Structure 1
Amino acid sequence: MSDTHEHANIAFVRTDTLPQQAAPASAAGPLKWVKDNLFATWPNALLTVAAAYIIYLILGGALPWIAGGVWSTTSLAECREILQGQSAACFSVLTERWHQLIYGFKYPTDARFENVIMQYWRPNLAFLLIAPALAPVLFFDLPRKLLIFTALFPFVAFWLIWGGTIWTPIFALVGFVAGYVVYSRLVTRSFAFGFFGGIAAALVVWYIGGAIAAALAPETPLLPSVNSRDLGGFMLNLMLGLVCVSLSVPLGIALALGRQSSMPLIKWICVIFIEFIRGVPLITLLFVASVMLSYFFPPEQTVDLFIRVVIMITMFSAAYIAEVIRGGLAALPKGQYEAADSLGLDYPQAMRLIILPQALKISIPGIVNIAVGLFKDTTLVSVISMFDLLGMIRGPILASTEWNGVYWELLGFAALLFFVVCYGISQYSQWLERRLATDHR
């Protein structure tokens, strides 16, 4: 009896730890997320229920309409015969006119194959080359040697899409090289002096090279020449968006720096340009590009419509990007400029190594916002008879007797394409902000 009492007073000491228990379902996992985000308070719960009911009404009508769609007819009348009064989509317009929606309706055929095989491989190849060309620019951890292909891509893509003599993109490349060489030599004196000197050198080389290219052009080029009026569809929107964004960012940086210049002439030129462009609607500039710019050239000479539109859209977006970058420059403390001076850096070195990297990080959200708006604004070119995606829908497709009356299917397809591109741009900008930690100094 005493032994039993003695053992009862000895404390138990565990020699191993208890296994970790899973958290309760209400404290982790999907249930916790639902509780914290959807039903945290009574107002949140009511809004969640109301939103779920609205989504149910929308999907309840849209999903059967999409699921019961017809894909294999050649006209709207055949779709209605198959549906027999049922409410469903007629997606046959997409399968029947997909090439017009993507490439336009006048992109050339290959004459060597009796005009049967379309040369869609040319813009397709140019589109595939965009990925390796943009990769070293968007993801700066990649080897810098890949930037050589990035520099060559615009000229290769130009020749693939427009065709004609290969000497034209070659002399265009030579002009850019000459402009960069002159800029690098003169920028040590003044940034503005080097910038405008490089532009002048490039223009001289392009003028001389254009005459030489015309003289060397063969009668039957390797790739048939394409007029800009023959470009169309979503391909035209992508081309305008990519070219204009690529050109407007460096031009916007130059305008922002020029607006803060200590030289009165450079400063007021940039101020007047920015304020004037920001005060004019883009559609007005497009009409100017379509009609009025031709009056500034001799009767026997003109500038391609695509180039005129690119100039106007680039000027428009560059003015807004300049203001965004100016805000980033103003957000930097004065000590950053003083630190650059204390290191003995001249103006170009200070801007390239210290000031602009920080200002551009701060300006990323604003620049991306302008880029997304610019890409969507490319649909305005339809008002000057350029058949982009919306121009093809409102023009040749809906004007045809086979598909007159199909709206939701075509506009929904256009909305989907623009959403994919704009959402991709937005996601990349968010990744870049996290990568650069723009919210921390």
Structure 2
Amino acid sequence: MSDNKFNYVRGEMLPQQPAPLAARSVSGWIRTNLLATPKDVILTILALAVLIAILPGALNWLFVQASWLGSDRSVCATTVQGGIQPDGWHGACWAFVKDRFVQFIFGRYPIEERWRPILTLIMFVVLLVPLLMPKSPRKGLNAILLFIVFPIIAFFLLHGGAFGLERVETPRWGGLMVTLILSFVGIAVSFPLGTLLALGRRSQMPVIKTLSVTFIEVVRGVPLITVLFMANVMLPLFLPTGWTIDNFLRALVAVALFASAYMAEVIRGGLQAIPKGQSEGADSLGLSYWQKMRLIILPQAIKLVIPGIVNTFIGMFKDTSLVSIIGMFDFLNTIRLNFTDTTWITPVTPITGLVFAGFIYWIFCFSMSRYSAFMERHLDVAHKR
């Protein structure tokens, strides 16, 4: 046998191949993603048929026949040409949203004092944005300012009663402001508390484990409405005579505790996914329990369950609308309250208000979802190498 028979070394490089269709043109992307198989073709045609049937009418109702300007309900009962339309054929009444927009944001907060929630929001954004940026410096100081210092300043700004600020009782709060406050407190409290509950459930100490399991299972076993009812109706029965707790504070505690139970199970799932060797390696280095959890176990576990954490946050953000059962008017319920306003009562007013509310909720929820995806890509170290 000749040596050439077993020579597998390539003498020249293969010619460069053309780029995939999806990377070259829009038509290539369409063929690859929408028309690759007969099933994809059928589903694409069905989707286009649904869009053609629904989209023109929706756009017509939302924009073409919509009423954009006006000071009362009369503008929502006319077409662009000025003729009266039958009920059910009017376009969206965006004039109603424009006229009540400030109330949707602040509720019944005094007009002359609304600079206080605006200033609070500016402070929140200034502190939050650097914390969300992976490469921003001094995150520890930033977190202390956002989660410890900011809530104290925000309370005195919004509630008043000190430093010469007029007192604004929480029953006068409402709108998107209440929704954001409930969501921020719920997120700020449920994440660390849920982490402690998850660690407690995996603890080797019987008392700690029993208490954690009991709390998690009891809270997860009842709906949020029940927890809010308990906080509003049952809690005062256990307080000494003459003592009372603000309704808004009860809602904050109820939402935070409820979210903590769900967060604990999400974190526990991440802890169980960490190989046992990680913990054993930390023990071999002489790290204490809290050093092991803080430096090795928790960072890996939290990275694994980012989608579950954000999903819990999104659910809690939407569930804040349930506080209406204890007399609080969040964003959605402030909008619903205006449906009976005689100035704007029309057949399309409720639909327009609910569409607007859904759009605002979608903006916040979609933003959290996109940031979650960004953090997953940023922390996916294994695929960056």
TM range (shorter): 0.7 to 0.9
1:74 equivalent in structure 2: 71
Of residues 303, 310, 313 in structure 1, which corresponds to 2:255?
313
Shift of 1:67: 2.4
Shift of 1:438: 7.1
Amino acid of the residue matched to residue 399 of structure 1? Answer: T
Of residues 183, 186, 189 in structure 2, which corresponds to 1:247?
189
Q: Output aligned runs, 1:8-407, within 5 Å.
A: 28-65=24-61, 66-81=63-78, 82=82, 84-85=84-85, 87-104=90-107, 106-109=108-111, 118-144=112-138, 145-150=141-146, 151-165=148-162, 221-395=163-337, 397-404=338-345, 405=347, 406-407=349-350
**1:261-305, Cα deviation, whole Å (9 max, x unpaired):** 111111100010000000011011111122211222223221111
Shift of 1:403: 2.3
Count of residue correspondences: 357
Shift of 1:148: 4.7
CA distance in 1, matches of 2:216, 2:281: 30
The 1:26–1:92 alpha-carbon spacing in structure 2 relative to 1, beyond 3 Å, is closer
Contact 1:382 1:390 in 2 (8 A): no
Contact 2:228 2:323 in 1 (8 A): yes
Shift of 1:418: 0.4
Amino acid of the residue matched to residue 102 of structure 2? Answer: H
Q: Aligned with 2:182: secondary structure?
A: helix
2:12 equivalent in structure 1: none
Gaps of 5+ in 1: 1-19, 110-117, 166-220
CA distance in 1, matches of 2:23, 2:121: 48
Amino acid of the residue matched to residue 360 of structure 1? Answer: I
Q: TM-score, normalised by structure 2?
A: 0.87
Of residues 354, 359, 363 in structure 2, which corresponds to 1:416?
359
Contact 1:286 1:312 in 2 (8 A): yes
Shift of 1:402: 2.0
Contact 2:220 2:261 in 1 (8 A): yes
Out of 358-367 and 143-152, give the one that drifted further: 143-152
Amino acid of the residue matched to residue 70 of structure 1? Answer: S
CA distance in 2, matches of 1:83, 1:254: 64
Shift of 1:333: 0.7
Amino acid of the residue matched to residue 263 of structure 2? Answer: I
**1:67-109, Cα deviation, whole Å (9 max, x unpaired):** 23112222223421445216322211111111221111x2124
Contact 2:67 2:75 in 1 (8 A): no
The 1:28–1:227 alpha-carbon spacing in structure 2 relative to 1, beyond 3 Å, is same
The 1:30–1:273 alpha-carbon spacing in structure 2 relative to 1, beyond 3 Å, is same
Contact 2:232 2:326 in 1 (8 A): yes
Contact 2:77 2:90 in 1 (8 A): no
Shift of 1:59: 1.6
The 1:25–1:427 alpha-carbon spacing in structure 2 relative to 1, beyond 3 Å, is closer
Q: TM-score, normalised by structure 1?
A: 0.77
1:433 equivalent in structure 2: 376
Superposed CA RMSD in Å reads: 2.2
The 1:44–1:140 alpha-carbon spacing in structure 2 relative to 1, beyond 3 Å, is closer
Amino acid of the residue matched to residue 388 of structure 1? Answer: D
CA distance in 2, matches of 1:271, 1:438: 34
Shift of 1:25: 7.7
**1:27-79, Cα deviation, whole Å (9 max, x unpaired):** 72111100001111222112112211211222210112222311222222342
Contact 2:76 2:90 in 1 (8 A): no
Amino acid of the residue matched to residue 84 of structure 1? Answer: I
CA distance in 2, matches of 1:33, 1:88: 37
CA distance in 1, matches of 2:373, 2:53: 32
Out of 26-35 and 321-330, give the one that drifted further: 26-35
The sequence identity of aligned pairs, in percent, is: 45
Amino acid of the residue matched to residue 38 of structure 1? Answer: L
Contact 1:38 1:45 in 2 (8 A): yes
Shift of 1:412: 0.6
Shift of 1:126: 1.2
CA distance in 1, matches of 2:83, 2:273: 61
CA distance in 2, matches of 1:37, 1:222: 63
Out of 51-60 and 315-324, give the one that drifted further: 51-60
CA distance in 1, matches of 2:17, 2:198: 59
CA distance in 2, matches of 1:72, 1:349: 61
The 1:149–1:24 alpha-carbon spacing in structure 2 relative to 1, beyond 3 Å, is closer
**1:170-214, Cα deviation, whole Å (9 max, x unpaired):** xxxxxxxxxxxxxxxxxxxxxxxxxxxxxxxxxxxxxxxxxxxxx
Amino acid of the residue matched to residue 39 of structure 2? Answer: P
Q: Aligned with 2:74: secondary structure?
A: helix
CA distance in 2, matches of 1:97, 1:244: 27
